[in-house]
Every structure is written in C-alpha cells, then in structure tokens.
Amino acid sequence: MLSVDFSFIEEFINNEQIKSIHGEIFKAHEKFHGNKVFEAIGWLNLPKEYDKKIIEKIINEAKAIRKNCDIFIIIGVGGSYLGARAAIEFLHSGNYNILENTPKILFIGNNISSDELFEIMQFCKNKRICVNIISKSGTTIEPAIAFGFFKNFLENIHGKDGARERIYCTTDLGSNLEKLAHKMGYKTFIIPKNVGGRYSVLTAAGLLPVAVSGANIKKIIAGALNALNFYSIFGKNLNNCYKYAAVRNLFYRQGKITEIMVGYHPKMHYFTEWWKQLFGESEGKDGKGIFPASAIFSTDLHSIGQYIQQGPKNLFETVINIKKPNHDLIINNSQNDFDNLNYLCGKTVNFVNQKALEATLLAHTNGGVPNIVLNLDSFSEENFGHLVYFFEKACAISACLLGVNPFDQPGVENYKKEMFKLLGKSNF
Amino acid sequence: MLSVDFSFIEEFINNEQIKSIHGEIFKAHEKFHGNKVFEAIGWLNLPKEYDKKIIEKIINEAKAIRKNCDIFIIIGVGGSYLGARAAIEFLHSGNYNILENTPKILFIGNNISSDELFEIMQFCKNKRICVNIISKSGTTIEPAIAFGFFKNFLENIHGKDGARERIYCTTDLGSNLEKLAHKMGYKTFIIPKNVGGRYSVLTAAGLLPVAVSGANIKKIIAGALNALNFYSIFGKNLNNCYKYAAVRNLFYRQGKITEIMVGYHPKMHYFTEWWKQLFGESEGKDGKGIFPASAIFSTDLHSIGQYIQQGPKNLFETVINIKKPNHDLIINNSQNDFDNLNYLCGKTVNFVNQKALEATLLAHTNGGVPNIVLNLDSFSEENFGHLVYFFEKACAISACLLGVNPFDQPGVENYKKEMFKLLGKSNF
C-alpha cells in the first residue's frame, strides 16, 4: 500500500497554501469525473473496465512465447517502450537478462542506432526469437525501421509461415500496422484509441511484455484498481495523489522549476524514465512545465548530489522508497576494519540503504530542497500498478492546474517535419 | 578530430558578448597556466607527463585478466565508476556483455542494493572472476560493502592465496585500501593524489578497466594529448574549449539554468552520466551552477522532446555528434509500404540518424533552445581521449567563471554525516 509522507515539505509549503488551491484541484477533478472535456481518457477507468478475455489472451500468448523462444524482442519507442521496460525491471531487475530467466528480453526500435541493430541481430543468430512490435500508428520511424530488419531476419530463417508464428503486433485498430498484421496473419493486440501512448502501460502495450517476463499482470491491474478507488474521490482532505499534484504546482509557482524523481534501487531507473515522459510530454507546452529529471541514489549522490545540496534552490525531489528488496544480505566484519565499516557488522545491506535514504532526506531538506516521499513495502505487482495509476492521475491533474492539455504533444511534430524534409519524403 | 559548431547559438549570443568576457576567460586560464592556485590539477598535464611504465603495467595486467577470467567485476562509485563505464560503452557498446567479448564486465559497489549484489553473486557462481576495487580512500561505504562480499566470495572458492591473484586495487598512496593491499599482497595501482575522482578517468581508475575491455589505452592518451595541445593556448580567437565555457556561462547569465548533454547513440549514455558528475560536482555550489541533464536521442525525443520544444525557455543543449557508427545497415523496402518508409529504401540507418540530428537542431533552435554541436568522425579511442580532456578543461574554466572551486565537493559530506549518525558510527 502506498503512503505519502509530506513532512519534508512543511518548511516550504504550509496547509493554508495547499487549501488555497483546493478550488483549482476540484475544477481539474471535475474535468475527469464531472463533465468530461477530454477524449483521451481511456486510461482513467481501464483498471475496472478491462476486458477479461483480453487479459486471458495475453496470459496465454505469453505462456506460448515463454515456451517457444530464447529471446523476446520488443520493438517500440516512447510510450510503446518505457512502460514495459519500467515494469520488467521494477518487478525483476535491471539485470534481468543475466538472471536465470527465460526468455531473455531485448528492447530495440527506440533509437536509430545501426550499431545496436547489428549487435542484436548478431546475438540472435541461431537462437529462437519472437518479436513484439508495439506502435499505435505503425509508421513511427524508429520501430518501423527495426521491424523491417527483424521481419526479414525471421523470414530468412523460418520462411513467411514460420515468421508469422513469431510476430506479435500491438497497435491501434485500423492502423497501417493492424492492416498489415491482418493481411499477413500476425497475432494482434489492440491498444484502445482513447489511451495515449504515455498512458498505455496497463494495455497490451505494457502487459504482454510483462506477462512474458513471468510477472502476474492480474495483480498489476488489481493494484491499479486499488489506486483508482483511492484517487477518484475529492474531499476536504485531499487524497495523496491530488495533494502531490497540488504541492508540485505550488513549488512551480515558487520558482522550483525542476523535479527530480529519485529511486534507491537500480531496478527503478526505467520507472523514472517512464515518469519523465509522462510528465514532460504532458506538462511541457505553452512555455510552461516543470523540468522532469531523475536520479538513482546512492549512485547519483556521487554525481549530482553536490549540486542538489549546494546549488541553486530551484529544485524539489520526489523520492520513491521501496522498503524491502527481494533479497537482503548481512554485512560481515572486514579484514582489520581497514574500511572502517565494522560498526555495520551484523546489519543488512538494505538497512544501510534505508539509512542513506533517511539521511539524504534530512540533508537535502536542510539544504533548502524539499522532498515528497512515497513509501511502499515491496517490489510487488500490486505496488507497480498502484504507482502507475497514482502518477497517471497526478499528471493529468497537474497539467490541468498548469492550464495545459495533458494529452497532446504538438511539439513532437516539429523535428519530425524537419526530418521528413531532409529525408526527401514526399509532401514535406 | 573534434570540431565545434557554434552556428546554432548565433541568434542567442553574439560575438560581442563572447568578447566581453575574454578577460574573465584569461583570468581563469592563468589559474592553470600562470600562477597556479589549485592543488588538484594533476589531470591538467597527465596526458604528457604519464609514466610509461605504468601504462605498460596496466596493459600487461589487462592481458592476464583477459586470459584468466570470464567475468571482470569493477567495484567503484562516482569518479571511480563513471569514467571507466563511459569509456567501455563508448568504445564498444552498452550491449558490451552480449557481444562476443571476453571477459564480461560488471559494475557493482556504486549503490547500496542488496538485490544487485545477490544477483551478481548468483551469476558469478562457477565462473572465473577477477575483481578490481577502485576507491581513492578505500572507506567509501558503497564500494567497501561490495568488496567485503566479493573478497569473501573469492576466498571461499579459491582460498586466500587464490583470491590474492584475482584482486586488483586502484587507490591513493597511503590509503587504508593501499595498506590492506600491501599487507595481503594484492596487485595495486596508484591514483595520483592531485587528481580528483571526477577527473581520474585517464589514470588507472579508468585505464585498467578499459584495457581489460580490449581497447587501446595508448590511443586514448594520444587523443587527450592532442586536446591538451589545442586547449592550453589562450589567443584572440578563443579555442573551442574556452569558447564552450564562455558560451555556457553567458547562457547561465541569461537565465538558461539547465544544460542537456545529448548523444545520438545509446552507447553514449554513460558518457553523459560521466559528464553530469564532472560538471554537477564542479559547478553546483554556493547557490550557483547550471543543472546538468542528459538525453539520448532519438529515444528521448519521444520523452522530454516535447518539453524541450515547447516548455519554458530556460534550457540549452550540447550535442555530441559522432558521425560514423561501427556498423551501418541498408534499409530495404517494406511490405506494400505499410509503414510509409519505402522512400528510405537504399539509404542507411545511420543516414536517417544524421538527418534526425540535423532536423532536431533546426527544430529546437527555432523553438528557442540554442544548441552547441561537437562533431567527431567515429567512436575511436583518440576521440574518446580528446572529448574527455575537452570537457575536463572546459569544466575547470567554467567553474572559475562562476567563481567557485572546480575541485571540491563540500556538500557531499552533508548526507554522509547524517547517515553515519543514523548508522551509529562512533564520533558522529
């Protein structure tokens, strides 16, 4: 269960200030629960309106994939990439591929790197692979290029019929990719049109890869449903999700223009990357928005820690504290105490990690950097689902508080238009 | 050879403005080349004053390690971690461990994650491993804890004598770790005392791991020496390194308080992480400093691209354009042009990557975000060495322009003190 600790912001924002924007929060709340003004809110009730047949289909196909391949290749970028990767690393490890898991899972088509394509094709030689292309349109350039190479790769080895059995398409209904899949007989999963890319982790875009990793996707949805129930209520005491949105908006008004999302476990890196897209794309428009940065401590205390402690006071941090790792280890005495660490003898590694977290909260807050702390007990599927929904809802509310549309990304077209011109695409 | 393109900043900063701070640049230059005011400037002449015997010793030990082990474990954090990792990924790949390289290289002791230690010990079972602990003091808590586990791990399998042959210590002369190494008979490499952690990649801290990866460390030093020769000269026309320092300082004065270091190849991720520590720790003090952020495009164009294009105009980007990958691939026609990509038929993947880069420069600059572009031809050792020295020198000059000490990090002690108190260390 998620609890949120706001005690480390008290010197920066008081309850009166939070109360002063209750009215704005209510207006934002009404945009989702009253007269609905946005189309792209399929994510809002997804955890309670899910089609059980689709969940069963995902689970069954994942079983087949786990049985039939050594390497599962996931092709996607942005919202068709970060959610699945965040989930797999959160629920297993950033070291997933060196663990004794089957199949290995590799992510491609999220860049335009020929080296990466080359290296991964080399690695896939003589191995049984399956490919999942995730692309709402089917025409995004990065996944389309990568899919071209891997479709050929499979057809050269297995022929068209064999390739057909190994290709899974996750896309919008009526997209070019969906049409191709239909024609070729590829297995297809549909992303609801009213769920935007960065809000799609709880659709097949995220759930098929996660199921292939062996995690329990029903529990993820149960966690999200639990969050939905908590964060759909507007009351005198703001729910934690709305309070988070309120506090970060008040910080922004105070000139705190960068939020650092902090985890204390390396397996949380891609969760923070997912969060950066969610908030950066939703809020960063019309000249507004909080800059979304991320860090994994204690690693990055040895990198940007100095800056946070003593640099300009225009930052705040949001810390996700997962209290229990999957495996803890007891620290032994070292040789002659050469490292001055014998006082830790008998303590566990995670005990030290928790103390590093508590110490950093004190040090950074004293240094003028407020911290919001999200506490969870473990890296469970339920907790992942809950966190995802918490941030999705908080992001939608936050963007409304800023006065921008949480669901569009008009600026992403700018570089694409320039690129199509330079590439000589017709009509550009 | 590095060339720097300043044409994408011309609408934001003119030559007069740059000239107006030539005097300040000269003062900063004199701090390194005139009356030397800092102690920790061993890095400044390292590429020309290197002890050739040490280079030969590193090369020979690396050969032995490559022959004698399946997995090379590097234990270090911050400046004893990021440089080595940046180099190995830049010169090979972020996918280094799935390539057909020997030995595999794993990094631990850069966090306090029991899960990661557990997973990597599991992976190392029944494999031949060597361990390189890199720690200037030997008492930094993250590497010390990890070393405790791996020293035991080795001694349990090989006995103390066998472990002795497999442990390499890279540390300061007279440190606790050096004393232990001397007593135990571990092979030892010394980091010069006047080279700070974040400036230490061209010492054994970076060079031993890089040599184990199979890269040519003499070429890295040659590249750095080449840079040293270019960037030691102060003239009417600022050298590119000084001009970069001048421009970013002028941006800061204009209120551009975040710099995003951008690469277009996933293998550059850890180079940008190394850069973040270098600049964040050097500049972020006394309430001053540019916030160091990073991105790998095109991946992150689908994440923070929207924010950069249309968010607040308080950012600038520094783009490292490495023009040639190690392997390029030709794009073929797709089935019925379902992905609308057939206009790319016959072009290479890297051609598209280059056009994405050019397009993004235009789009972001037009959107009010200036870009400095560093152009290099390939991922060579020489280019890596050149880039490292370029940024080290630019960072030192930049910090002087800001009026802060480039070589201390007093704020890093704050959380450590709180942590030692919470952990019950005596005298805290």
Tens of pLDDT, residue by residue over B346-378, are: 999 999 999 999 999 999 999 999 999 999 999
Residue of B24, B246, B237, B306 lying closest to A281 (CA atoms): B306
Select the residue of A144, A287, A355 nearest B312 (Cβ to Cβ).
A287
3-state secondary structure of A410: coil
Task: Please give the Cα distance from B357 to B297 (Å, whole number).
Answer: 8
- What average pLDDT is seen over chain A? 96
Which pLDDT tens digit goes with each residue over A209-240?
999 999 999 999 999 999 999 999 999 999 99
Select the residue of A177, A305, A315 nearest B338 (Cβ to Cβ).
A177
B156 touching A (Cβ < 8 Å): no
A161 near A197, Cβ under 8 Å?
no
Strands annotated E in A148-245: 167-172, 187-191
B115 near A267, Cβ under 8 Å?
yes
Task: Please give the Cα distance from A400 to B144 (Å, whole number).
Answer: 47
B287 touching A (Cβ < 8 Å): yes
Query: To which H or E segment does residue A155 belong?
Result: helix A141-164
- Contact list, A117 vs chain B (CB under 8 Å): 329, 349
DSSP string, B32-100: HHSS---S--HHHHHHHH--HHHHHHHHHHHHHHHHH-SEEEEE--GGGTHHHHHHHHHHT-TTGGGSS
Task: Please give the Cα distance from B231 to B244 (Å, whole number).
Answer: 11
Closest approach of chain B CAs to the CA of A236, in angstroms? Answer: 32
Q: How many Cβ atoms are within 10 Å of A179's Cβ, its own excluded?
A: 14
Residue A118 has pLDDT above 90, yes or no: yes
What's B258's DSSP letter?
A: E
pLDDT for residue A1: 86
Q: Give me the count of residues in chain B.
A: 428
Closest approach of chain A CAs to the CA of B44, in angstroms? Answer: 21
Please say if A302 is a catalytic residue.
yes
User: Confidence band (pLDDT; 50, 70, 90) for A336?
Assistant: confident
Contact B113 A287 (CB under 8 A): no
CA angle B189, B195, B196 (to 5 degrees): 105
Task: Please give the Cα distance from B185 to B167 (Å, whole number).
Answer: 9
Chains A, B: CB contacts within 8 A come to 422
B210 near B88, Cβ under 8 Å?
yes
Select the residue of B78, B336, B359 nearest A422 (Cβ to Cβ).
B359
Catalytic residue among B178, B273, B281, B283: B281
Q: Give me the count of residues in chain A.
A: 428
B331 touching A (Cβ < 8 Å): yes
B426 CB contacts (<8 Å, ≥6 apart)?
A343
> Average pLDDT in the A252-269 region?
98
pLDDT for residue A35: 82
Closest approach of chain B CAs to the CA of A119, in angstroms? Answer: 7
pLDDT for residue A243: 98
Report the residue of chain B nearest A310, measured CA to CA.
B285
- Contact list, B418 vs chain A (CB under 8 Å): 358-360, 362-363
Closest approach of chain B CAs to the CA of A225, in angstroms? Answer: 26
Catalytic residue among B63, B160, B324, B416: B416
A293 touching B (Cβ < 8 Å): yes
B134 touching A (Cβ < 8 Å): no
Which pLDDT tens digit goes with each residue over A348-403?
999 999 999 999 999 999 999 999 999 999 999 999 999 999 999 999 999 999 99
Task: Please give the Cα distance from A251 to B287 (Å, whole number).
Answer: 18
Here the tokens at position A78 are 């942005």
User: Confidence band (pLDDT; 50, 70, 90) for A426?
Assistant: confident
pLDDT for residue B8: 98
A121 near A146, Cβ under 8 Å?
no
Please say if B179 is a catalytic residue.
no
> Average pLDDT in the A4-9 region?
98
Residue A76: what are its φ and ψ, rounded to 5°? 180, 165
B258 touching A (Cβ < 8 Å): yes
Contact A347 B114 (CB under 8 A): no
B39 touching A (Cβ < 8 Å): no
pLDDT for residue A277: 98
Residue type, B414: N
Task: Please give the Cα distance from A153 to A149 (Å, whole number).
Answer: 6
B173 touching A (Cβ < 8 Å): no
Residue type, A381: E
Task: Please give the Cα distance from B9 to B250 (Å, whole number).
Answer: 11
Q: What is the pLDDT along chain B (428 residues), one digit of tens a residue?
A: 899 999 999 999 999 999 999 999 999 999 999 988 899 999 999 999 989 999 999 999 999 999 999 999 999 999 999 999 999 999 999 999 988 878 999 999 999 999 999 999 999 999 999 999 999 999 999 999 999 999 999 999 999 999 999 999 999 999 999 999 999 999 999 999 999 999 999 999 999 999 999 999 999 999 999 999 999 999 999 999 999 999 999 999 999 999 999 999 999 999 999 999 999 999 999 999 999 999 999 999 999 999 999 999 999 999 999 999 999 999 988 777 888 888 999 999 999 999 999 999 999 999 999 999 999 999 999 999 999 999 999 999 999 999 999 999 999 999 999 999 999 998 88
A299 touching B (Cβ < 8 Å): yes
- Contact list, B423 vs chain A (CB under 8 Å): 343-344, 347, 352, 355
Which pLDDT tens digit goes with each residue over A13-51?
999 999 999 999 999 999 999 988 899 999 999 999 989
B255 touching A (Cβ < 8 Å): no
Select the residue of B144, B302, B414 nearest A339 (Cβ to Cβ).
B144
Task: Please give the Cα distance from B111 to A301 (Å, whole number).
Answer: 10
User: Confidence band (pLDDT; 50, 70, 90) for A101?
Assistant: confident
Select the residue of B97, B176, B287 nearest A311 (Cβ to Cβ).
B287
User: Confidence band (pLDDT; 50, 70, 90) for A333?
Assistant: confident
- Contact list, B115 vs chain A (CB under 8 Å): 93, 265, 267, 325-327
Q: How many helices and strands in chain A, by DSSP H and E?
A: 16, 10
Contact A78 B303 (CB under 8 A): yes
A85 touching B (Cβ < 8 Å): no
A156 touching B (Cβ < 8 Å): no
Task: Please give the Cα distance from A200 to A186 (Å, whole number).
Answer: 21
Closest approach of chain B CAs to the CA of A2, in angstroms? Answer: 21
pLDDT for residue A307: 98
ipTM: 0.97
- Contact list, B169 vs chain A (CB under 8 Å): none
Calculate the CA B132 to chain-centre distance: 18
Contact B414 A309 (CB under 8 A): yes
Please say if A386 is a catalytic residue.
no
Q: In chain A, positions 358-387, which contact chain B (CB-CB < 8 Å)?
A: 358-360, 362-364, 366-367
Task: Please give the Cα distance from B112 to B149 (Å, whole number).
Answer: 12
